[in-house]
Structure 1
Amino acid sequence: MDGYTVIDVETTGFSPQQNDRVVEIGVVYVSPRGEIQDHWSTIVNPRRDVGPTHVHGLTATDVSTAPTFDEIAPYVLRALTGRVVVAHNASFDLRFVASELVRAGIALEQLPLDGICTMQWSPAFLNATSRRLADCCRAGGISLVNAHSAIDDALATAALLGHYLDLAQYDPPWTDTLAACTAYPWPTFPGSYPELRMTRRHEVRSARQDEWLDRIVSRMPRAADPRVDSYLAVLETAMFDRFLAEHEKEALVAVALDSGLSRGQVLDLHGDYLLAMAAVALEDHVVTPEERGDLESVASMLGLRSTDVDEALRAAHEDAVASQAAAVSVSSSGIVLEPGDRVVFTGDMVREREEWESIARGHGLDPGGVTKKTKVVVAADPNSLSGKGRKARSYGVPIVTEAAFERLMSESFAA
């Protein structure tokens, strides 16, 4: 193989079938061993409104003098031909790239395009709190600056790919995708290459208020099905402003259909989202009328009922009570950590997870995933509704804070 091409696109919306377009593209060339070789990016004039500026930070003024996708299409085609395409939530990015290439008159024989998805492979290589690129990068010790800038996201994804390759000792488990990508019958560009004109992202970016979304996403369980993770990634972006416009609803339906999800599966995912939102509302043990109104509004937008809000609040409260009971039981149970005990770290903690794992290994403990034999789970938030938190509670494994774990370590390994 010639190597990997990592791409990231920022878009006007969520579905090319709904006439959404690319407003920025980042392209990074990566060697078969994961070294970044070169990269380029440009803002793209979509010849329509730019969509959610509050997400991607681009305005109509920013794109007004940028090249159209038609102008850069030959260079995008050249960047992909004969190489293995990589993206974080690849099904989303590749749908847009394919749509734009076809619009530009480049005939693609086989759709959908195939590629390696660093989001899909993240559970195999990372202990991340969520599927989001920022959380995956944090788990892999990778810097991500200016999230939702196409080139910064693409460079971070390229570094994530390199991390996976290193962990796999350069014998990655995606051999079928490698074969499919390298054998793809890319067409030859029929005309002469125009001058490559690029417009860089402006230094001034619109402020993004991520805290509310971050707190909800951190409580969403990871899915074993990559189709589900792909849909949830789009849903999280759509819900960024706590409002689901009609065109966003239509786009989500299109994404669900593209992903092969049934109506029942989609409603289950919306229920998970509402449950995570209820947990955020209950963080201070009080649900204000404004928070209840938010929950009711979001439930309605997601096709759920008022009774689903009641159920979400009840379930979130029960999980919180169970977590608190587990934390209390640890402090009075006389748990003693011994070499060989399995301990699990989850969430965005004060100390970096890698530091905690190093400390644990230094005392002979075994950091890893949740099993029935796990001695204790250390969580940034013991009330977390993450997959690890739920599994720990189902096994009866105590979930404790960093401070409680530090006390356990001090008591168990006192000189």
Structure 2
Amino acid sequence: MTGYTVVDVETTGLSPDRGDRVVEIGVVYVSDRGEVQDRWSTLVNPQRDVGPTRIHGISASDVTNAPTFAELAPYILRAVAGRTTVAHNANFDLRFLAAEMVRSGVPLRDLPLSGVCTMQWSTAYLNAPSRRLVDCCRAGGIALTEAHSAAADALATAQLLGHYLKTSDYQPPWVDTLATTRGYGWPTFSGTYPELRMTRRTEVRAVRQDEWLDRIVSRMPRAADARVDSYLATLEMAMLDGFLAEHEKSELVGVATEAGLTRGQVLDLHADYLRAMAEVALEDHIVTAEERADLERVAFMLGLRSTDVEAALRASLDAGQGRHTSGDAIESTGIALEPGDRVVFTGDMVRERDEWEARARQVGLDPGGVTKKTKVVVAADPNSLSGKANKARTYGIPIITEAAFERLLAELRNR
């Protein structure tokens, strides 16, 4: 049976490698036409503390009689075998899924697991202000209630997937992922299926609604590289309680390493986060002593300095007066050009297109049309709706500004 299996997990923390566990799982079956066929969800007994109750709304009492992941593993195997797994920020959910499977005695090969990431593809199908599921759903006209509930998040992600499939006329651009996932060698479960006990939330507690964080995240520029967006999504989760614990710092290092980000690139991303905080603090044109202390505290946790707080406040003031465009650093972060890479130019740019193409050829790049192997598209406006830009979004190709491309050329020349 083909189709998609949408998965969402709530967890005790950010790192399965450091002992964090799944405390709730939501599963939704979706057809190749985007139709929701079935769904189920349950709390999971993590056999340890449940982690941040104020974020996911799950208490230790809730999971006392819930099934363990090992009890659920045969049913999850049946849900994913021969199908394409989907999640919003798939890197996060699939890492936990794989870790819990292995812990349950299910032998997995060819890790990490592959899947379709609705966060990654959101820039191709939505005009959302941020990568958050709630913002993507709002942009797609999809209702999301009870956010941070695995059942609700999985259903909303399934509906996002349906929107993408319909928009692409049911010929999605992730054909390679379909082949990889549906041919993945999941082990066969040959034993007796245990009783499937599902424990649903009796109520959704007052999950933390942090408008301060929401406003910060809404100001974060979208990254041109899916790996960078995944890092930023992890950073946002880590900062939900306004504090970055040592194990969360270690997890962020692991995510950055896995994404191939350098220390300098990570610090640039942290500077963008701090600038977003500064913009929130300056909404009323006054930075209080408490807001200043928050900025200083977060800067320290992110490996930044007090002078970076001043720079963030200045940049935010300039942005409010129309003199600053944020996001250039984030646009190029995680992208490195190599001789032979295909680059594409589109729109009415500051430099003539012929000049850009000549400069690209001087360092061994290949200017031309958009193909699946194109490395970047350079546009006067990254939100361009040109045919080249739309095709690039369909293929998941980064679209960057001239300024960002200039920096990438300088990096290539200096190697």
User: Do they fold alike, i.e. is TM over 0.5?
Assistant: yes
1:76 counterpart residue number? 76
**Would the aligned equivalents of 1:15 and 1:255 in 2 still touch at CA under 8 Å?**
no
Deviations 1:194-220 (A, max 9, x none): 011110012141331220111001100
Instruction: Summarize the alignment of residues 136-215 of structure 1 with structure 2, pairs less than 5 Å apart.
Output: 136-215=136-215
Q: Is the 8 A contact 2:146 2:204 kept in 1?
A: no
CA contact (8 A) 2:56 2:207 kept: no
In the alignment, the residues of structure 2 paired with residue 234 and residue 115 of structure 1 have an alpha-carbon distance, to the nearest angstrom, of: 18
Unaligned runs of 5+ in 2: 325-380, 387-397, 405-415
* Alignment match, 2:47: 47
Alignment of 1:299-310 (within 5 A): 299-310=299-310
Counterpart code for 2:146: N
Match of 1:286 in 2: 286
CA RMSD of aligned residues (A): 2.3
Summarize the alignment of residues 11-410 of structure 1 with structure 2, pairs less than 5 Å apart: 11-322=11-322, 370-371=383-384
Q: Deviation string for 1:326-376 (max 9, x for gaps)?
A: xxxxxxxxxxxxxxxxxxxxxxxxxxxxxxxxxxxxxxxxxx974599xxx
The aligned amino acid for 1:225 is: D
CA distance in 2, matches of 1:145, 1:323: 38
Whether the 8 Å contact between 1:15 and 1:254 is mirrored in structure 2 is: no
Kindly provide the amino acid, as one letter, of the partner of residue 11 in structure 1.
Answer: T
The superposition leaves residues 168-217 of structure 1 with CA deviations (integer Å, 9 ceiling, x where unpaired) of 00000000100101111111124221011110012141331220111001
CA distance in 1 between partners of 2:72 and 2:261 (Å): 33
Q: CA deviation at 1:251?
A: 1.9
Unaligned runs of 5+ in 1: 325-367, 374-386, 395-415
Shift of 1:249: 1.4
Contact 1:7 1:93 in 2 (8 A): yes
Residues 25 and 41 in structure 2, CA contact (< 8 A), matched pair in contact too = yes
Report the CA distance between 1:294 and its aligned residue: 0.3
Distance in 1, Cα, partners of 2:259 & 2:79: 26
The CA distance in 1 between the partners of 2:210 and 2:196, in whole Å, is 35
- Measure the CA separation in 2 of the matches of 1:199 and 1:372: 46
CA contact (8 A) 1:17 1:254 kept: no
Q: Distance in 1 between matches of 2:15 and 2:173?
A: 30
SS of equivalent to 2:321:
helix
Give the aligned residue type for 2:77: L
Q: Structure 1 residues 306 and 197 mapped into 2: Cα distance closer, same or farther (>3 Å)? A: same
Q: CA deviation at 1:64?
A: 1.2
Provide the residue aligned with 2:6 in structure 1.
Answer: 6
Query: Aligned to 1:159, what secondary structure does the other structure show?
Result: helix
3-state SS of paired residue (1:208)? coil
The CA distance in 1 between the partners of 2:259 and 2:41, in whole Å, is: 28
Q: Kindly indicate whether the alpha-carbon contact (under 8 Å) linking 1:55 and 1:237 is maintained by their aligned counterparts in 2.
A: no
- What is the deviation of 1:20? 0.5
Measured after TM superposition, the shift of residue 240 of structure 1 is 1.3
Percent identity among equivalent residues? 69
CA contact (8 A) 1:53 1:206 kept: no
* Residue identity in the other structure for 1:226: A
**Are 1:4 and 1:31, in contact at CA under 8 Å, matched by a contact in 2?**
yes
**Aligned pair count?**
337
Cα distance in 2 for partners of 1:105, 1:22 equals 16
Moved more, 259-268 or 196-205: 259-268
Mapped partners of 1:304, 1:190: distance in 2: 53
Please give the alpha-carbon distance, in whole angstroms, between the structure 2 residues aligned to 1:185 and 1:27. 20
Structure 1 residues 249-258 or 207-216, which shifts more? 249-258
Q: Aligned equivalents of 2:63 and 2:17: distance in 1?
A: 22
Supply the AA of the counterpart residue of 2:85. Answer: V
Q: Deviations over 1:57-97 (max 9, x none)?
A: 10111111111101001101110000000000001000000
**Amino acid across the alignment from 2:180:** A
Aligned partner of 1:99: which letter? Answer: A
Tell whether the 8 Å contact from 2:87 to 2:157 is kept in structure 1 after alignment: yes
Per-residue deviation, residues 36-71 of structure 1 (Å, max 9, x unmatched): 000000000101111111111101111111111010
- What's the offset of the Cα at 1:260? 2.8
Q: Is the 8 A contact 1:5 1:79 kept in 2?
A: yes
TM-superposed CA distance for 1:322, in Å, is 1.3
Decide whether the 8 Å contact of 2:73 with 2:101 is kept in 1. Answer: yes
TM-score, normalised on structure 1? 0.78
